């Protein structure tokens, strides 16, 4: 068992060494190091403006000028807070945009089926609800068969019930397809619900790195989850239970 674990531990799909990124005089990422194992589900927390999206964009290959060494798999996909669908293309065409497949509609249908959206295959993006549009964005990521799935606060704009459904969907897709996931979120409970590992970005570096060794389904009241929640909130600058001046 431990030997298998040791072998797996070396199977790293993301390797970042001394990544530095500045915008003008402001250094956002400061010689950051990070490794992500194949198939791991990692949640990335950090205060607003701490550089989470900058790091994610770098891993997605969307940042023009990072300094440092960044190794990522070729097969990767990103889902942002906004679905970013092209409005003048039907849902299924959005999914396969830029892909070369023999039967693109069938590929799109299979992915839409997995996210529960096959009935909207011919819909125009602007006719989708917020939750449906994010399902379509997830399906678009799926058809790329990513080894690394990058999610930048993908549920932040959704209502609470839709968010819970989407969290369950992401967990299901992760179990079915096994990509490494990096989920940026500002929601400590979401991180603790979904991830095996929770990291905190602060002062341009990974300041905390926790393993969440709790079986699924997880309960908010689990003492290990509660303990981790307190530690994470403290790392994020939110005080103890008697400090009720923070966010609701």
Ligand X SMILES: Nc1ncnc2c1ncn2[C@@H]1O[C@H](COP(=O)(O)OP(=O)(O)O)[C@@H](O)[C@H]1O
Q: Tell the smallest beta-carbon distance from residue 23 to ligand X (Å).
A: 3
Residue where the block lists tokens 């969307």: 62
Measured from the CB atom, is 123 or 236 closer to Mg ion?
236
54 binds ligand X (CB under 6 A): yes
Strand order in the sheet with 12-23: 26-37, 12-23, 67-71
49 binds ligand X (CB under 6 A): yes
Q: Mark the segment that binds ligand X (CB under 6 A) among 46-54, 71-79, 83-91, 173-181.
A: 46-54
28 binds ligand X (CB under 6 A): yes
Binding site for Mg ion (CB under 5 A): 52-53
Beta carbons within 8 Å of 110's beta carbon, 6+ residues apart:
none
Bridge partners of 43, per DSSP, are 183, 198
185 binds ligand X (CB under 6 A): no
Q: At what angle do helices 160-177 and 130-142 cross, to 10 degrees?
A: 10
Measured from the CB atom, is 125 or 154 closer to ligand X?
154
Measured from the CB atom, is 28 or 169 closer to ligand X?
28
Q: Count the neighbouring beta carbons within 10 Å of the beta carbon of residue 217.
A: 8
Binding ligand X (rule: CB under 6 A), the pick from 14, 40, 45, 52 is 52
Q: What is the H or E stretch that residue 70 is in?
A: strand 67-71
Measured from the CB atom, is 114 or 153 closer to ligand X?
153
48 binds ligand X (CB under 6 A): yes
88 binds ligand X (CB under 6 A): no
Q: Residue 51 binds what, of Mg ion, ligand X, none (CB under 5 to 8 Å, by partner type)?
A: ligand X
Pair 40, 180: CB distance under 8 Å? yes
Whole-number Å distance between alpha carbons of 43 and 24: 28
What are 34's two structure tokens? 């990070």
Binding ligand X (rule: CB under 6 A), the pick from 45, 46, 117, 191 is 46
Residue 38, classed as helix, strand or coil, is coil
Q: Residue 136 binds what, of Mg ion, ligand X, none (CB under 5 to 8 Å, by partner type)?
A: none
- ∠ CA 20-24-26, nearest 5°, is 60
94 binds ligand X (CB under 6 A): no
Q: Which residues bind ligand X (CB under 6 A)?
A: 23, 28, 46, 48-54
């Amino acid at each position: 068992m431990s030997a298998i674990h040791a072998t797996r531990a070396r199977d790293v799909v993301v390797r970042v060494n001394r990544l530095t990124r500045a915008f003008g005089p402001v250094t956002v990422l400061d010689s950051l190091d990070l490794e992500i194992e194949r198939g791991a589900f990692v949640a990335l927390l950090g205060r607003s403006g701490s550089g989470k999206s900058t790091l994610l964009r770098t891993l997605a290959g969307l940042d023009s000028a990072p300094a440092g060494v960044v190794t990522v798999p070729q097969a990767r996909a990103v889902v942002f807070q906004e679905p970013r669908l092209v409005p003048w293309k039907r849902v299924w065409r959005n999914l396969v945009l830029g892909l070369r497949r023999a039967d693109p509609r069938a590929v799109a249908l299979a992915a839409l089926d997995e996210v529960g959206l096959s009935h909207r295959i011919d819909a125009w993006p602007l006719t989708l609800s917020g939750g449906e549009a994010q399902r379509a964005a997830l399906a678009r990521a799926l058809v790329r068969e990513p080894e690394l799935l990058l999610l930048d606060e993908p549920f932040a704009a959704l209502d609470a019930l839709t968010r819970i459904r989407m969290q369950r969907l992401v967990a299901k897709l992760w179990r079915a397809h096994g990509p490494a996931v990096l989920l940026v979120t500002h929601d400590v409970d979401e991180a603790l619900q979904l991830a095996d590992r929770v990291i905190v970005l602060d002062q341009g570096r990974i300041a905390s790195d926790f393993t969440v060794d709790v079986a699924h389904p997880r309960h908010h009241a689990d003492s290990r989850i509660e303990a981790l929640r307190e530690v994470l909130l403290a790392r994020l600058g939110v005080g103890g239970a008697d400090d009720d001046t923070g966010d609701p």
